Amino acid sequence: MNPTQYLVALLTLSLTTTSFSQSIIQLPTRHRHPLTGNRRIRADDSLYCTSWRFSVETNDAGAWSSIPARCQDYVKDYVSGDRYLSDSDVVAGDSLAFIRTVNVSTEGKDAWVFDIDETLLSNLPYYAKHGYGLLAELVNMLLMVQQLDLPLEKEYCCRLDFLPATARRHLVEAHKYSAVNQTNDNGVIPLTFGYKAHLQGIDVLDIEIFNSNTFNEWVDLAEAPALPASLRFYKELQELGVTIFLLTGRDEYQRNVTVKNLVYAGYSNWERLFLRGPSDERKLATVYKSEKRMQIEDEGYTIQGSSGDQWSDLQGFAVAKRSFKLPNPMYYIA
């Protein structure tokens, strides 16, 4: 891509985005209600949450900030169960079927680009401990009280019935709060109780907003396991003679622990590992990853395929001939 083409592509991409956050997008979703008149769809959590996951995986939902409260148990069961592994395995199978149609160059100029988190490595042990990405509406309310500086002597209340059962149990049992009408789960919680707990650092619902500090502490452990389907596909690519590049949103200072974790999980012999440097700060993931792919192409490689759990891993410019989206209903990155 020549300089003029690059500037046009970058300008076009910049005009189609509105945030420069490199982490999880925080946009309100509570007013997104299904238009269906089917009462069963509205009432059946499993049916609704399956459709919600379809919408976010296909990118129909666009930018989203949080898992709906009613889908917490669904997402937990999905990512910790066989369905997630099966979906990932099917994507890996489709990826392998595609690359087998390519006449791979003996000169090593056919490339595949992998994201790392939730693509090669699984951070499920971390997210299991931190609520699987759920941003509860109660936490939103606590933050609202803080931002608006509402007087805490007033009993701003919220109902328990919109919360998933696991969250209700935690709130009532773990914090020993006897809610009104507790027998039918339609109790009322004084928001002052929740807010004071929030100030004291108590996880009111045993869930939390994404915290980059605690996540980075997890990264430093270098213990994330491989996503099994991706590890198998990675090794198949090596057998076929495809050159592998790793492109992650992690920061440059995390290079050593990232390499350590990749080797621990069974990965080896990649061509290059790209991490965010100082010049990449505040760039949208879509822009940052597009620029790195263009650098690969400028070195004479043909990017035959790309794998990632986020659409921002795959879209933009200098895209692969085929892109493969792995499942991730826990968070969204622009």
User: Which residues neighbour 287 within 8 Å (Cβ) at sequence distance 6 or greater?
Assistant: 10, 13, 14, 17, 316
Within a domain: 42: yes
**% of the chain surpassing 90 pLDDT:** 52
Residues whose CB is less than 8 angstroms from the CB of residue 159 and which lie 6 or more positions away in sequence, other chains included: 186, 187, 188, 189
| Domain match, 265 and 233 both | yes
Cα–Cα distance measured from residue 233 to residue 237, given in angstroms and rounded to the nearest whole number:
6
Cα–Cα distance for residue pair 201/192, rounded to 1 Å:
14
Same domain, yes or no, for 244 and 319? yes
The side-by-side arrangement of strands in the sheet containing 110-114 is 272-276, 243-251, 110-114, 302-308, 322-325
Residues 31 and 111 in one domain: yes
* Same domain flag for 160 and 117: no
Residue 125 and residue 93 in one domain? yes
Nearest by Cα to 312 from 278, 279, 288: 288
Question: Same structural domain for residues 101 and 223?
Answer: yes
Q: Provide the CB-side half-sphere exposure for 330 (13 A, CA).
A: 28
Contact criterion met (CB below 8 Å) for 215 and 126 = yes
Select from 171, 206, 241 the last residue of a domain: 206
Q: How many separate domains does the chain show?
A: 2
Q: Residue 298 and residue 154: Cα distance in Å, rounded?
A: 62
Q: What is the pLDDT of residue 9?
A: 42
Residue 93's contacts (CB-CB under 8 Å, 6 or more residues apart) are: 229
* pTM more than 0.75: no
Question: Which pair of tokens denotes residue 132?
Answer: 């699987």
- Based on the fold, state whether residues 155 and 17 are members of the same structural domain: no
Residue 294 pLDDT exceeds 90: yes
Higher-pLDDT residue of 168 and 228 is 228
> Maximum CA pair distance of the chain?
73
Summarize the confidence of residues 61-84 as an average pLDDT.
87
How many beta carbons lie within 10 A of that of residue 269, not counting itself? 9
Query: Residue 292 — pLDDT band, cuts 50, 70, 90?
Result: very high
Range of the domain at 188: 136-206
Question: Which residue matches tokens 């592998």?
Answer: 244
Same domain, 124 and 156: no
224: domain CATH number? 3.40.50.1000
Residues 276 and 235 reside in one and the same domain: yes
pLDDT digits (tens, 9 = 90+) for 221-254: 999 999 999 999 999 999 999 999 999 999 999 9
Q: For residue 116, tell me if it sits in a domain.
A: yes
Q: Are residues 305 and 174 part of one domain? A: no
What's the mean per-residue pLDDT of the chain? 76
As beta bridge partners, residue 188 has: 159
Q: Do 91 and 236 fall within a single domain?
A: yes
Tell me if 278 is assigned to some domain: yes
Q: Is 87 in the same domain as 223?
A: yes
d(CA 323, CA 89): 15
User: Do 63 and 312 meet the contact criterion of CB atoms below 8 Å apart?
Assistant: no
Distance, CA of 284 to CA of 281 (rounded, Å): 9
3-state percent helix, strand, coil for the chain, nearest multiple of 5: 50, 10, 40
For residue 285, is it within any domain? yes
